[in-house]
Structure 1
Amino acid sequence: MKVHLQTDQLRAVLDSLGAELVSLQNSTGKELLWSAGPEWPRHAPVLFPIIGRVPSEVLHYEGRNYPMTQHGFARDNHFTVLETTAHTARFLLRNSPVTEAMFPFPFSLESSWSISGPSLDLTISLTNTGTGPMPASLGWHPAFRWDPSPGSQLLFDKEETADTRRVDAHVQLTAARFPTPVHQKVLTLTEDLFADGAIIFESMKSRTVRYVSPQGPVLDLALAGFAQFTVWKQPGADFVCLEPWAGLPAPASYRGEVLASPGQMLFQPGEERSFSCRLTTHP
């Protein structure tokens, strides 16, 4: 099911499959999202209950093995549409026999959207509805149009001086750390920057990131609750992903139980946490 939200400055289309944003157009009708072409067949998926890929694509819990695909199952499941208006939409995914075959924990994952003027707000709320602790990572993976001409930049509102992280070819976290590519709050975006894959800001200070593209509008991402931020580009493709994360991929060397996996959040019974991103377009 497709849901349309609109103001006189912004138009958004959401799909109940994955509660995914599949189109975002400014007041002139310019499409801001990637087209989900063959280089990467997604627009802006929600990542849950893992980010990246666990070793051997298997979760270990209480002596049993559970198959888990890259970035989890939320993006490939239909959410229940709870509510829609001209300016709001709410989607819900709960555990089911399908999810329990991969992730043996009861949960409630709600994706709420609202549109106002030039801004689109996303809030993702995750609740542990079970009786024991629940491990999880959660992220948003929007891909925005990439302008190949020189001058594309990310502008951070704080100095990002900490080392960054990378993942290997299996999308698992490596042990190595790398000097930040941000200089005086500016990250210049080039093809060469992504030759070794995604750049992960493990403990980002900034709460606002501005994407500036020479031939396109300016986009601001204002974040709350997300501790990590990742920038990724498929070489040669005309998109760049700006990804708020809450959690990290599993280390490539980790073979233990999922409850103790480094980088995962741990939710106690009944615990709820919310994570939000406001996306604002500027002429």
Structure 2
Amino acid sequence: MRVRLQTDQLRAVLDSHGAELVSLQNSTGKELLWSAGTQWPRHAPVLFPIIGRLANDTLHHDGRDYPMPQHGFARDNQFAVLETTAHTARFFLRNNPSTETMFPFPFTLESSWSVNGPTLQLIFTLTNTGPAPMPACLGWHPAFRWDPSPGWQLQFDEEETAAVRRVNAQVQLMPGGHPSPVHRRVLTLTEDLFTDGAIIFESVKSNTVQYVSPAGPLLDLAFDDFLQFAVWKQTDADFVCLEPWAGLPAPASYRGELLASPGQMIVQPGEELSFSCGVTAHP
């Protein structure tokens, strides 16, 4: 089911399959999202309950093995539609027999969307409904249009001088850090910047980035409640992904149980966590 939210300054289309944003247009009708072309057939997936990829695509817990696909299963599940209005929508996923073959933890995950003027607001609410601590990561993976002409930038609202992390070809965290490619709060976006995959700000200081095209600013992405942030693009594809994360991919060398994996959130029984972010489109 597709849901349309609209103001006179913004139009958004959401799909209940994966609770995915599939279109975002500014006040002039300019499409901001990637078209889900053949190089990467998605628009803005939700990453849960892992980010990246586990070794051998296998989750280990309590002496048992569970198959787990890259970036988890939320992006490929049908969410229930709880509510829709002209300006709001709520989607809901809970554990079910299918998810339990991959992730042996009871949970609920709700995504609430709203539009106000030029801004699309998104709030994730994750709850551990089981009796034991639950490991989890949660991320949003929107892909915005880009082209290879000079002048594309990300402008952070804080200096980002700390070393960044990288992942291997299996989207597993590599050891060590790399010098920050951000200079005076600006990350210049070029094709060769992503030769080694995603750039991960492990403890991002900024709360907002502005995505700037050669013609001027396109959008602001705010991510107050997320502690990590990643930037990625597929080689020779006309998009850049700006990704607020709560948690990190498992290290490439890790083979243990998910509960003990570095970078995981541990959600206690009955605990509810909320993460918000927002996209403000420029005309």
TM-score by length of 2: 0.99
1:211 and 2:211 matched? yes
1:38 and 2:38 matched? yes
Q: Which residue of 2 aligns with 1:106?
A: 106
Q: 1:280 aligns to what SS in structure 2? A: strand
For residues 44 and 97 of structure 1, the distance between their equivalents in structure 2, rounded to whole angstroms, comes to 25
Q: Is the 8 A contact 1:92 1:111 kept in 2?
A: yes
1:192 and 2:205 matched? no
- Give the C-alpha shift of residue 216 in structure 1: 6.4
Mean Cα deviation higher: 216-225 or 60-69: 216-225
Q: Which amino acid aligns with 1:112?
A: S
Q: 2:223 aligns to what SS in structure 1? A: strand
Q: Which residue of 1 aligns with 2:157?
A: 157
1:142-182 Cα deviation digits (max 9, x unpaired): 00000321100000011101000000011100002100000
1:21 and 2:25 matched? no
Q: Is the 8 A contact 1:128 1:269 kept in 2?
A: yes
Q: Which residue of 2 aligns with 1:226?
A: 226
Q: Which residue of 1 aligns with 2:73?
A: 73
The equivalences for 1:50-89 within 5 A come to: 50-89=50-89
Q: Which residue of 2 aligns with 1:115?
A: 115
Q: Is the 8 A contact 1:18 1:74 kept in 2?
A: yes
Q: Which residue of 2 aligns with 1:167?
A: 167
Q: Which amino acid aligns with 2:3?
A: V
Q: Is the 8 A contact 2:210 2:217 kept in 1?
A: no
Q: Is the 8 A contact 1:147 1:215 kept in 2?
A: no
**Number of residue pairs matched?**
283
Q: Which amino acid aligns with 2:158?
A: K
For residues 41 and 223 of structure 2, the distance between their equivalents in structure 1, rounded to whole angstroms, comes to 25
Q: Is the 8 A contact 1:147 1:214 kept in 2?
A: no
Q: Is the 8 A contact 1:89 1:114 kept in 2?
A: yes
TM-score by length of 1: 0.99
1:169-223 Cα deviation digits (max 9, x unpaired): 1110000210000001000001111111110000000001000012465210111
Q: 1:60 aligns to what SS in structure 2? A: strand
Query: What are the ranges of 5 or more consecutive residues in structure 2 without an aligned counterpart?
Result: none
Q: Which residue of 2 aligns with 1:181?
A: 181
Q: 2:82 aligns to what SS in structure 1? A: strand
Q: Which amino acid aligns with 1:33?
A: L
